[in-house]
């Protein structure tokens, strides 16, 4: 884990972007997740879950669905520091990931990955390596189980994220469309861009 943020740091010039440069290893009883709506060269949603003090990250072009029959592509990206979960703002246009970012959803999550044959709960870190994990989200917009499944070989960053069938699944909701605002500031991506 020690060097997992080197890629994050190497891609950014912290004199130019106000994204977090501090890196801490926090320890709390609950792990957090965050989904940031990011209007970069292409609009996407960055889904991040806290694992061993860093944020494991995927770029999800269409965002997460609440409908269990919808599979969404998720491209795994570099680990981000824990502090990134609070980041909302504008990354300068010429910098890596240039564009505006809001905290679209946020909350805690639980590991609900299936137990192994011996009945032991697999850790999220191990499940990430195996390419299959399930998390139960407790966000403001998104709740319930989501499965993440790696589709390609080990050097392929493509995963699928799928809502699991449970009491929170709902084929009629479409929160990326109907609930566009930040859960921490109430601002929309367009509001940020107007303020610039
Ligand atoms: Mn992004």
Using CA of residue 55, residue 29, residue 160, residue 141, what is the dihedral sign? negative
Distance from residue 26's CA to the centre of ligand 1 (Å): 23
CA of 185 to the centre of ligand 1 (A): 19
Residue-wise pLDDT for 128-153, tens only, equals: 999 999 999 999 999 999 999 999 77
* Mean pLDDT estimate for the chain: 92
| Cα 117 to averaged position of ligand 1 atoms, centre (Å) | 37
pLDDT given at position 1: 44
List b or e across 107-121, with b for residues whose CB sees 16 or more CB atoms inside 10 angstroms.
bbbebbbeeeeeeee
Q: How far is the CA of 152 from the centre of ligand 1 (A)?
A: 21
Band of the pLDDT at 169, cuts 50, 70, 90?
very high
Q: How confident is the model at residue 25 (pLDDT cuts 50, 70, 90)?
A: low
**Integer Cα distance of 25 and 45 in angstroms:** 24
**pTM exceeds 0.75, yes or no:** yes
Using alpha carbons, select from 23, 18, 30, 25 the residue that is nearest to residue 107: 30
Over the stretch 80-138, which tens digit does the pLDDT of each residue have? Answer: 999 999 999 999 999 999 999 999 999 999 999 988 888 888 899 999 999 999 999 99
CA of 144 to the centre of ligand 1 (A): 23
Return the half-sphere exposure (C-beta side, CA atoms, 13 A cut-off) of residue 12.
21
The torsion angle over the Cα atoms of residues 100, 70, 51 and 122, rounded to 10 degrees, is 180
What separation in Å is there between the alpha carbon of 70 and the centre of ligand 1? 22
Q: How far, in Å, is the centroid of ligand 1 from the Cα of 44?
A: 6
How much is the pLDDT for 88? Answer: 96
Instruction: Please tell me the distance between residue 118's alpha carbon and the centre of ligand 1 in angstroms.
Output: 38
């Amino acid at each position: 884990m020690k060097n997992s943020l080197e890629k994050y740091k190497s891609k950014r010039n912290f004199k130019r972007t106000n994204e977090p440069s501090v890196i801490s290893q926090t320890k709390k009883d609950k792990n957090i997740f965050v989904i940031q709506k990011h209007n970069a060269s292409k609009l996407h949603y960055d889904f991040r879950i806290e694992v061993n003090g860093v944020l494991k990250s995927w770029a999800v072009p269409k965002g997460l669905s609440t409908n269990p029959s919808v599979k969404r592509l998720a491209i795994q990206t570099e680990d981000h520091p824990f502090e990134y979960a609070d980041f909302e703002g504008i990354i300068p246009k010429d910098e890596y990931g240039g564009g505006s970012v809001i905290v679209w959803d946020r909350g805690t999550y639980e590991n609900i990955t299936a137990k192994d044959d011996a009945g032991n709960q697999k850790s999220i870190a191990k499940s990430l390596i195996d390419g299959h994990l399930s998390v139960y989200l407790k966000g403001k917009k998104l709740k319930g189980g989501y499965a993440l499944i790696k589709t390609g070989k080990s050097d392929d960053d493509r995963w699928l994220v799928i809502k699991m069938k449970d009491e929170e699944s709902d084929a009629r909701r479409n929160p990326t469309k109907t609930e566009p605002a930040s859960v921490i500031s109430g601002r929309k991506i367009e509001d940020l861009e107007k303020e610039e």
